[in-house]
Amino acid sequence: MPDYIKNPKSKLDRFKQEVYIIIYGVNTPAGKAFDIGLLIAILLSVFTIMAETIEDIDRNFHKELMVLEWIFTVIFTVEYAFRIFVSKKPLKYIFSFYGIIDLLSILPMFLAVFISGSHILSSLRILRLLRLFRVFGLMEFMEESSKLKVALLASRAKIMVFLYTVLIIAILIGTLMYYIEGPENGFTSIPRSVFYTIVTLTTVGYGDMVPTTALGQFLSMILMVIGYGIIAVPTGIVGVEIAKAGDNSIGSKKTKNKEDNRLNDIVCAHCNKEGHRNDAEYCYSCGHHLHA
């Protein structure tokens, strides 16, 4: 928290302080209102951008949608200015992840005034949805989401091994399928066959490419059963980690109870041994008084 927040000196500082609390605070009514307002503005701006891409809607309401876009651009520009204004180190915010997204979400509209066509980039505004993570995070789900993150990070190495194995299987079987089915059956290249293999292995199954030879169908069946079966692996990995993450939070309570028996790091002045009980008065090894 910047200094002027804790000890506002001038009138400007006091104003900055108020704005800062509104933008970054969550416990005041104004802070909550700002978060919810921002949430709604982001969602509506995303709906506007989506609506523009639907031909029927765009043909009939093009003007209205453009007006809405400009309104959201103004709102986000004001928000952006205020965020810079209240930051002690504005550059740090400007070049932060969210700072860049905030800029990208307003820049295209201004550029569109000079460069025709750049308007299309305003859909970059959809990236602002990422800010919702922060808004929601501040509101409720922080703890749960961090538990999930811990569980997923802990299973990272196992998941990588798994994905890597899946990828190798997909490339090998994809190549095989290319030579079995061939371009005449729609397997026009190895990458396309690998696409088919991934589509089948993940049980998505578009059906745009389908094996027509007996051998291709047989191999595909094996592939499906593999795909159907190995989904058990990431599920098992993540499940175990989530269970552990839950246990740890319980575990911390247990540790607390055992605290009394924990050995500490105090070094005996006489024999230099450590690992004494927390409530020890004398060294276990030489009998010297520890706190003498």
Count of residues engaged in binding a copy of itself, rule: CB under 8 A = 98
| Span from 5-13, 15-23, 62-70, 212-220 in contact with a copy of itself (CB under 8 A) | 212-220
Using the minimum distance from each CB to a copy of itself, give the nearer residue, 5 or 242.
242
Binders in 80-119 for a copy of itself, by CB under 8 A: none
3-state secondary structure of 210: coil
Shortest gap between Cβ of 33 and a copy of itself (angstroms)? Answer: 21
Using the minimum distance from each CB to a copy of itself, give the nearer residue, 28 or 189.
189
Binders in 122-141 for a copy of itself, by CB under 8 A: 123, 126-127, 129-130, 132-133, 136, 140-141
Using the minimum distance from each CB to a copy of itself, give the nearer residue, 79 or 241.
241
Quick check: 21 and 30 in contact, CB under 8 A? yes
Residue ranges in 87-155 assigned as alpha helix (H): 90-94, 97-104, 107-114, 129-136, 142-154
Q: Which residues contact 173 (CB under 8 A, 6 or more apart)?
A: 197, 219, 223
Using the minimum distance from each CB to a copy of itself, give the nearer residue, 20 or 178.
178
Strand partners, 282: 289
Which token pair is 212? 């027509």
Q: Which residues contact 212 (CB under 8 A, 6 or more apart)?
A: 181, 185
What amino acid occupies position 97?
Answer: F
Note whether 171 binds a copy of itself by CB under 8 A: yes
Which token pair is 151? 């569980």
Binders in 247-266 for a copy of itself, by CB under 8 A: 261, 263
| Span from 4-12, 28-36, 84-92, 151-159 in contact with a copy of itself (CB under 8 A) | 151-159
Shortest gap between Cβ of 20 and a copy of itself (angstroms)? Answer: 27
Using the minimum distance from each CB to a copy of itself, give the nearer residue, 52 or 79.
52
Q: Give the Cα separation of 185 and 180 in Å (integer).
A: 10
